[in-house]
Structure 1
Amino acid sequence: MNLNKFNQVFPKEEGIFPYIYLANMCIPLFFMLREPTETLYPGLLLLLIFVIVYRQIFWSSKFLILFVVVELVITLVLSYFYDPLYLYIVFVFSYLMTRLQWKWLYWLCGSYAIFSLILIYQTVFPDHLILIVSFLPPVFGGAILPFIMKASLRYKELNEDLKRVAEELRIKSEEKERLEESKKRMLADLSHDLKTPMTTIQGYSKALYDNFVEDEEQRRRYLKYIYDKSIRVTDLIDELFIFSKLDNPDSLINKQEQDLCEFLRQLIVEFYEMFAEKEMELNIEIPSKRIVYSFDQKLFYRAISNILENTIKYNPLQTNVFISLKESKDLLVIEIGDDGTGIREDLAETLFEPFVRGDKSRMNDGGTGLGLAITRKIVQKHNGRVYVDTNPTRGSTNFIIELPI
């Protein structure tokens, strides 16, 4: 309850600082109460106005300059008509002056310093020169406030810059470690994926070379195994070459302005028979109008076809497939989804990494494990991004490609 009452005086976001500075008003109030009756009440009225203005600043920030000027005038009036030591009140509202724009801060602090020096000259000089030392802190402090603030802000900026640089170095170090680990894992997976078909090729070719196979049908079957495994090795090497080429930041792509809608329609037609073989139903939402976009047709064909091939390969018969192209203010969005097997959330996060497959049981399915990694590289080359939504509004899995307009 008490905190709520306090918050009615000053906003909760301000913390305890307003109360600390306002408590300093007890000192000028103590000296004011020692004044004779004829000067006491006007002085108390000025202090009351000062406190009200001080409080209103926190609730009426648009009148900040006006209120600070009022505080400055009251301070100078009290110092001139009562005692120059009232100049110390400047330390009460200097906390508020730091909110001003730089130009107003310079003007007010400069004006305060000039009027304070004039006041001291008229009230102290030349009879009480020793008292000038007492007035140096408020006059000097009020005059150099902008410079103190600038130094403080500069120090804060330098401190934040150092923190940002340290954080960037930490992120880069972690990224470097992650890349090194990824390369090690990629080499291990690559050696495994190459070793398996090569072992098969060596075994069958040795059996044929040593004439262990006499049956012609079995001989032809062995030759078919060798041929199939050699095709797999060739595909893997080709995919690895493309992936390495795309991974090079200096590699260029051949962008040309083309109708993206017509491109997608032609691509889907090429895959239509493959969808028909698995009795998959296509739901296509592609605008009838032309949407001209600058892209590399050959690479983009590979990016989309990798997703379509996975959709066909890893889903059961009669799966519904959704393909759409949508245009927003600053994005083109291609969505390829289905209501098939689905992908686990944890696997979706790493699905675009090299040699990652959506199911561990598919390690020997004939795929290279580089298809979606290549898709991501191609989309990134077009300044876009690709990700998987495992909880789409329809279906179970949705591959989303976002391209900036």
Structure 2
Amino acid sequence: MKHDFIKNFGQRIAFDLMVSGVITLLAVCLVDGFLNFFCNGLMHMGYRSAWIGPGGLRPSIRMVILTVTALLIFCFTIYLLMRETLRYIGKILEKVKEIAAGDFDHPMEVKGNDEFSVMAENLNAMQRNIKEIMERERIAEHTKNDLVSSVAHDLRTPLTSIIGYLGWVRTRTDLDEETRNHYIDIAYQKSLRLEQLTNELFGFVKLEHKEMQLHLGKLDLVQLMEQMLDEMTPSFVKNELQVEFQHTENMIFLEADGELLARLFGNLLNNAVKYGKEGKQIRVSMEKEGEYVVTRVVNYGRIIPKQELEHIFRKFYRTEQSRSRDTGGTGLGLAIVQQIAELHHGQVYAKSDLQGTVFKVELPLQLTQQEGKKE
């Protein structure tokens, strides 16, 4: 039985007691009337006994009968009124046992609006929280395993090459100076690759654990992008890539960490070089859209399938085309891009179709205003 005006268990008890009292009183009156009618009938017939005298049913006997009747009726009525609540309490206890046994997949039905319904809601919330915590721990364990295997694989490859080339130079005393310098240069390039991988891994760990602090300053994003494109010119020339930079304004100032943004766009540009070689062109555009500055980095390499595009920002994820020896990395580049964008209260999106593969970065012009909005 539901009563919307009952807001807590105390009110329910008071209501049920009142209803049981009224029903008991009515029942006692009915029983008393029946006793009077029955005894008067017997008296008219001349019946006499220890219970029924000349004046009718003896008072002590009447009191006993009415008291027993009142107790039975009251207890039975209060049980009927409280039966649903008692069953609900039993279900709550069973749910507690299920949670203790590790069952977090079946939420409990919430009934009513008293303390027990609140308890059921809290049990469901606790169940969801425990399940989420367990899922996060499972993902963290899986991520840790991925990190160990990925680090072991990615660091072993250049390290094996370095040891191999240096060992070759060390043992071959008959090598001429030009050949020796060639192998030493290869080992040096592999060492730089090893340093890059190490820095990427350490940087990711700092971002992942929120240990990277923003050093905010006012910077011209157009100038930053032009500087980065200039620095990467040798890479563009080497891969025979034409680069086009379009911007609606000569200067676009925003509040950000210049070093982190350089890393963000550096990762996107390196990604465009790696996977856009076949398209022979990279397009970069930058414009203001409301309170944000939007940057798009487009390459015309292979189209990324939709099922891969959904996971492209996931840490350690590599698309099929990124598993080759030439383009393989730690699988952290785009994850770092997303983390840096979110650290600046921005976002990054990816789209890949016949029009090219587009990475779109939205960053707020005023970071302090965005922080105020979030608070």
Q: What TM-score, normalized to structure 2?
A: 0.61
Per the TM alignment, residue 301 of structure 1 is displaced from its structure 2 partner at its CA by 0.7
Per the TM alignment, residue 200 of structure 1 is displaced from its structure 2 partner at its CA by 1.8
User: What percentage of aligned pairs have identical amino acids?
Assistant: 26
Q: Distance between the aligned counterparts of 1:302 and 1:152, measured in 2? A: 54
- Deviations along 1:105-140, one digit per CA (max 9) or x if unpaired, are x9xxx9xx9xxx9xxxxxx9xx99989x99xx9xxx
Which residue number in structure 2 is paired with residue 164 of structure 1? 125
Q: Distance between the aligned counterparts of 2:314 and 2:174, measured in 1? A: 42
Per the TM alignment, residue 311 of structure 1 is displaced from its structure 2 partner at its CA by 0.6
Which residue number in structure 1 is paired with residue 202 of structure 2? 241
Determine if contact 1:232/1:366 at 8 Å carries over to the other structure.
no
What SS does structure 1 have at the residue aligned with 2:175?
coil
Residue of 268, 286, 290 corresponding to 1:328: 290
Q: Distance between the aligned counterparts of 2:279 and 2:300, measured in 1? A: 11
Q: Does 1:312 align with 2:288?
A: no
Per the TM alignment, residue 155 of structure 1 is displaced from its structure 2 partner at its CA by 3.1
Which residue number in structure 2 is paired with residue 176 of structure 1? 137
Q: Distance between the aligned counterparts of 1:284 and 1:367, measured in 2? A: 29
What SS does structure 2 have at the residue aligned with 1:390?
strand
Q: Show structure 1 runs of 5+ residues with no match.
A: 1-93, 118-123, 142-148
Q: Which amino acid letter does the alignment assign opposite residue 116 of structure 2?
A: Y
Q: Does 1:377 align with 2:356?
A: no
Q: What TM-score, normalized to structure 1?
A: 0.57
Residue of 119, 129, 148 corresponding to 1:187: 148
Q: Show structure 2 runs of 5+ residues with no match.
A: 34-69, 82-109, 365-369, 371-375
Residue of 89, 113, 116 corresponding to 1:152: 113
Q: Distance between the aligned counterparts of 1:169 and 1:376, measured in 2? A: 28
Q: Distance between the aligned counterparts of 1:241 and 1:197, measured in 2? A: 17
Residue of 189, 213, 217 corresponding to 1:252: 213
Q: Which amino acid letter does the alignment assign opposite residue 347 of structure 1?
A: E
Which residue number in structure 1 is paired with residue 310 of structure 2? 349
Q: Distance between the aligned counterparts of 2:318 and 2:116, measured in 1? A: 50
Per the TM alignment, residue 399 of structure 1 is displaced from its structure 2 partner at its CA by 1.4
Q: Which amino acid letter does the alignment assign opposite residue 238 of structure 1?
A: N
Q: Does 1:297 align with 2:258?
A: yes
Per the TM alignment, residue 284 of structure 1 is displaced from its structure 2 partner at its CA by 2.1
Q: Distance between the aligned counterparts of 1:129 and 1:260, measured in 2? A: 93
What SS does structure 2 have at the residue aligned with 1:337?
strand
Q: Which amino acid letter does the alignment assign opposite residue 372 of structure 1?
A: L
- Deviations along 1:260-301, one digit per CA (max 9) or x if unpaired, are 454445444544665466343526244456453x21101111
Higher helix share: 1
Q: Distance between the aligned counterparts of 1:381 and 1:287, measured in 2? A: 25
Determine if contact 1:338/1:395 at 8 Å carries over to the other structure.
no
Which residue number in structure 1 is paired with residue 359 of structure 2? 399
The total of aligned residue pairs comes to 290
What SS does structure 1 have at the residue aligned with 2:113?
helix
Q: Residues 160 and 199 (structure 1 numbering): CA distance in 2 closer, same or farther, change over 3 Å?
A: same
Which residue number in structure 1 is paired with residue 168 of structure 2? 207
Q: Distance between the aligned counterparts of 1:275 and 1:237, measured in 2? A: 24
Q: Residues 255 and 303 (structure 1 numbering): CA distance in 2 closer, same or farther, change over 3 Å?
A: same
Larger RCO of the pair (alpha carbons < 8 Å, separation 6+): 2
What SS does structure 2 have at the residue aligned with 1:152?
coil
Q: Distance between the aligned counterparts of 2:344 and 2:126, measured in 1? A: 29
